Structure 1
Amino acid sequence: MSDNIYFISMEGKTNYKIGNFAVREDIPLPVYVQDGGKLSLEKINPENIIGGMLKILMEDEQNDHLDYYRDFIFSVQPDIEARLTSGAYEAEQSEHFKDALDIFRVLLALKPNSLDANLNLAICYDEYSQSLFDKGREQEALKMEELAFDFFKIVDEFEDKPENALYYLGRFYLYRENYEKSVNYFDEFVRNTTDQERKKEVIDVLKNIRDFGVTDSDYQDAVAMIHSDNESESFGYIERYIQKFPNSWHGYYLKGLAFRKMEKFNEAIENLDKALQLNIDSSDIYNELGLCYMNLGVFHKGELNFNKALRKNPEDLIILSNLAMLYFKKGDKEEALKYCDIVIEFDPNDLYTKNLRKMIDENL
Structure 2
Amino acid sequence: MSSPLDSLVFVSIPENSTFTAQFPGFDPSIPLPVQLSRPGEQFEASALSRESVLSGILAVLAWDRDNAQIEYYRGLLKAAHPRIREELTEAAILKSKNGDFELAEEIFLALHGLDPLDSQTILNLALLLDERAENMRKSGLDEDADALDESAFAWYRLALTAEPPLPDAFFNAGYFYTRQRNYRKAREAFETYLKLETSETAHAQAKKKHAREIAEGIAERDLDDELFKSAYDFIMMDQEDKALEQIRLFMESHPKVWNAWFLLGWALRKQGRWEDAKAAFIQALELGSSPDSDIATGYTDICNELAICSMELGDLHESRKWLEAGLTEEPENTKIIANLGVVSMKTGNIKEAEAFFRTALEIDPEDRMAAQLLANLEQHS
How does 1:241-256 map onto structure 2 within 5 Å?
Answer: 241-256=250-265
The TM-score, its normalising length taken from structure 1, stands at 0.82
CA shift digits 1:282-321 (9 cap, x unpaired): 1222222222222222222222112112222222232233
Pick aligned residue for 2:212 from 196, 200, 203: 203
Is the CA contact (8 Å cut-off) linking 1:169 and 1:185 kept in structure 2?
yes
TM-fit CA distance, 1:347: 5.4
Q: Which amino acid aligns with 1:18?
A: A
Compared CA separation, residues 5 and 119, structure 1 to 2 (3 A) = same
1: CA distance, partners of 2:57 / 2:272: 59
- Partner-residue secondary structure (3-state), 2:198: coil
Gaps spanning 5+ residues in structure 2: where? 290-295
Residue aligning to 1:182: 186
Residue aligning to 1:125: 129
Q: Which amino acid aligns with 2:278?
A: I
Pick aligned residue for 1:310 from 311, 320, 327: 327
2: CA distance, partners of 1:150 / 1:157: 11
Pick aligned residue for 1:277 from 263, 283, 286: 286
CA shift digits 1:146-198 (9 cap, x unpaired): 33223224334546532222223322222212222222222222111113422
Is the CA contact (8 Å cut-off) linking 2:228 and 2:247 kept in structure 1?
yes
Residue aligning to 2:172: 168
In the comparison of the two structures, how many residue pairs are matched? Answer: 360
TM-fit CA distance, 1:265: 3.1
Residue aligning to 2:45: 39
Is the CA contact (8 Å cut-off) linking 2:303 and 2:322 kept in structure 1?
yes
TM-fit CA distance, 1:19: 6.3
How does 1:1-364 map onto structure 2 within 5 Å?
Answer: 5=9, 7-10=11-14, 13=16, 18=21, 21-32=24-35, 34=37, 38-40=44-46, 46-156=50-160, 158=162, 160-195=164-199, 196-197=204-205, 198-280=207-289, 281=296, 282-343=299-360, 352=369
Is the CA contact (8 Å cut-off) linking 1:33 and 1:39 kept in structure 2?
no
- Partner-residue secondary structure (3-state), 1:9: coil
Compared CA separation, residues 351 and 70, structure 1 to 2 (3 A) = closer
2: CA distance, partners of 1:351 / 1:110: 35
CA shift digits 1:209-268 (9 cap, x unpaired): 222322122222332344444444444533443343343211222333333334443333
Is the CA contact (8 Å cut-off) linking 2:32 and 2:53 kept in structure 1?
yes
Is the CA contact (8 Å cut-off) linking 2:7 and 2:35 kept in structure 1?
no
2: CA distance, partners of 1:46 / 1:362: 49
Greater Cα offset, 67-76 or 333-342: 333-342
Work out which of the two has the higher radius of gyration on C-alpha atoms and give 1 or 2: 1
Greater Cα offset, 154-163 or 117-126: 154-163
Greater Cα offset, 349-358 or 200-209: 349-358
The TM-score, its normalising length taken from structure 2, stands at 0.79
